[in-house]
Amino acid sequence: MRGAQALNFLRRTTTLAQHIRSTAATRLEFGSCLEANPNDRVYTHNRKIDDLLKSGDLISAHEVFDEMSLRDVITYNLMISGNSRNGCSVRAFELYAEMVSHGLRESASTFPSVLSVCSGDEWLCREGIQVHCRVIFLGFECNMFVRSALVGLYASLRLVDVALKLFDEMPERNLAVCNLMLRCFGESGDSQGLFGTSFEAVPEQDVISWNSIVSVFSDYGSVLESLGLFRKMQFWGKRPSVRSFMSFLSFCSRNNDTQSGKQIHCCVLKMGFDVSSLHVQSALIDMYGKCNDIESSVSVFDELDSPNVFSWTSIINSYARNGMGRDCVEMLKEMDRKNLVPDEVTILSVLSGCSHSGLVKEGEVIFNSLESKYGIVPGRKLYACMVDLLGRAGLVEKAEKLLLKARGDADCIAWSSLLQSCRVHGNEAIGRRAAEVLMDLEPDNFAVYIQVSKFYFEIGDFEISRRIREIAASRELMREIGYSSVTVRN
């Protein structure tokens, strides 16, 4: 319905723009003159603003802009673009509105930045449709860059029909807008359109285009289509890139599909990526580890001549996922012997392995030496992981002290983990404190209300349990619906 309304809007505004374009010419002359004949002072200021924005100094650029008594379209274009690149969407749109209110006529360079701002901000998306009306009114609808930005706008609004209409009417298309249309189809779940209209329109169906489709499937979990895509690439003689292989292996990891992962591994060997890319090899290690094939994971790792930190992290994570905490600790010690400094992700994997293997002392030694030995300051994820380790071992008092010490680094995940440990080990006092903190941290999280309600129910405080559920219902909080997939007969 929204798509049909938007299509009717396009038809009406096209007719309207054709009617008023000639009668409004005199009102646009002032802005046109300013754009065509900027004085030297404005030109100098524009150059200064441009230099400041290129150096990343948005604040100083605003100071120069505010001091200008006379501004032209180029001035506003620079400031709109600069604010857009720095994520200041609302300010960028305010500058655009100010420019129009001063009677300055937009140039073709104005609209890509403005439409990009509207596409990236939920609050401004509807304003983007009004900007589209200005595009038609000023006759820029055929400009390739403006049209590409319009496709992006309607794609962000999930109006696939409108985006496709704009795309089909483009006299020429570049690779960027074709890839944008591919993502639009993918996000709407239209795999037929993904391989149809938009992909056939790609000027040159290169690996970048394939990677766009692969990335879409990666984001939205279309496993069967992704593996079919892998076979299509082979059939059409397209050599997958490192990024393609990593995405395909990620599909197999998430779906525990060892068989397809092994087929891709064979292609990796055939194409020589086993020697040339540590990233692909690390993805293979990770895939086998997540598919519970630790022997294959170790085999791939052992074949590496010079594994980097990313590779070591992959094998340690594989051990952790398979409950082999002792091996995680030994691998970390081996990294120390080779003078390789682990990063935060590596330490998280080691502590996770210790947590699932009950290696409390080993985990504490590693955690307490992070800053002095590796220069890693524990953050929220590391504190949450350590709380989980202590809580699983029943050391809830120690876990609570750690969270109180962490202060700002103690988030909802860590306190939720502590509350769960209190439920398992029957510590009512600490559980009540954890429940109170959780409710303060996440007052709009339905899962928190359910967890806290269950805790009070289990300790026999039925009245509080009932009231917490009533509060959740009164706030109309809803549980997020999960989803899963099942493979039947291949």
Q: What is the CATH number of the domain that holds 411?
A: 1.25.40
User: For residues 125 and 52, is the Cβ–Cβ distance under 8 A?
Assistant: no
What confidence category does residue 336 fall into, taking pLDDT thresholds of 50, 70 and 90?
A: very high
User: For residues 456 and 464, is the Cβ–Cβ distance under 8 A?
Assistant: yes
101 burial level (CB within 10 Å; 0-12, 13-18, 19+): exposed
Cα 75 to Cα 62, 65, 440: the distances in Å are: 11, 8, 47
What is the distance between the alpha carbons of residues 300 and 307, in angstroms, rounded to a whole number? 11
In a domain, 442, yes or no: yes
In a domain, 318, yes or no: no
The H or E element containing residue 245 is helix 242-254
Which of the residue ranges 115-119, 132-136, 381-385 has the most confident prediction, judged by mean pLDDT?
Answer: 381-385
- Is 384's pLDDT higher than 90? yes
**Which of 172, 199, 220 is the last residue in one of the domains?**
172
- Is 113's pLDDT higher than 80? yes
CB atoms within 10 A of CB 338: 10
Residue 339 pLDDT: 92
**Which of 138, 172, 206 is the last residue in one of the domains?**
172
Which of the residue ranges 136-145, 197-206, 314-323 has the most confident prediction, judged by mean pLDDT?
Answer: 314-323
What is the distance between the alpha carbons of residues 145 and 98, in angstroms, rounded to a whole number? 23
Residue-number span of the structural domain to which 407 is assigned: 403-479
Helix axes 207-220, 242-254, angle to 10 degrees: 20
Q: Tell me the percentage of the chain whose pLDDT exceeds 90.
A: 37
What is the distance between the alpha carbons of residues 80 and 63, in angstroms, rounded to a whole number? 14
In a domain, 295, yes or no: no
Q: Tell me the percentage of the chain whose pLDDT exceeds 70.
A: 75
Average pLDDT, the chain: 80
In a domain, 321, yes or no: no
In a domain, 462, yes or no: yes
Torsion, Cα of 341, 345, 347, 352 (10° steps): -160
Which residues contact residue 272 at a Cβ distance below 8 angstroms, ignoring those fewer than 6 apart? none
Taking the mean position of all CA atoms in its chain, how far away is CA 48? Answer: 34
Higher pLDDT, 99 or 155: 99
3-state helix, strand, coil in the chain (%, to 5): 75, 0, 25
Domain count, the chain: 2
What is the distance between the alpha carbons of residues 52 and 55, in angstroms, rounded to a whole number? 5
CB atoms within 10 A of CB 261: 23
Residue 175 pLDDT: 63
What is the distance between the alpha carbons of residues 400 and 431, in angstroms, rounded to a whole number? 10
Which residues contact residue 389 at a Cβ distance below 8 angstroms, ignoring those fewer than 6 apart? 351, 354, 355, 360, 363
Query: Using one digit for the tens of pLDDT, what is the confidence trace for 303-325?
Result: 888 899 999 999 999 999 999 99
The least confident of 141-145, 236-240, 328-332, 420-424 is: 236-240
In a domain, 248, yes or no: no
Residue 210 pLDDT: 64
Tokens read off for 241: 């890139």
Per-residue pLDDT, averaged over 389-413, amounts to 89
In a domain, 317, yes or no: no
Residue 189 pLDDT: 57
What is the distance between the alpha carbons of residues 31 and 357, in angstroms, rounded to a whole number? 71
In a domain, 299, yes or no: no
Query: Using one digit for the tens of pLDDT, what is the confidence trace for 25-68?
Result: 433 443 444 444 445 688 888 999 999 998 888 999 999 999 88
Long-range contacts of 86-94 (CB under 8 A, 24+ apart): 86/58, 88/58, 89/117, 89/120, 89/121, 89/124, 90/121, 90/123, 90/124, 92/117, 93/117, 93/118, 93/121, 93/124, 93/127
Query: Using one digit for the tens of pLDDT, what is the confidence trace for 233-281?
Result: 666 666 777 777 887 888 788 878 888 888 888 888 888 776 667 888 9
C-alpha closest to that of 127 among 139, 137, 114: 114
**Which of 172, 196, 227 is the last residue in one of the domains?**
172
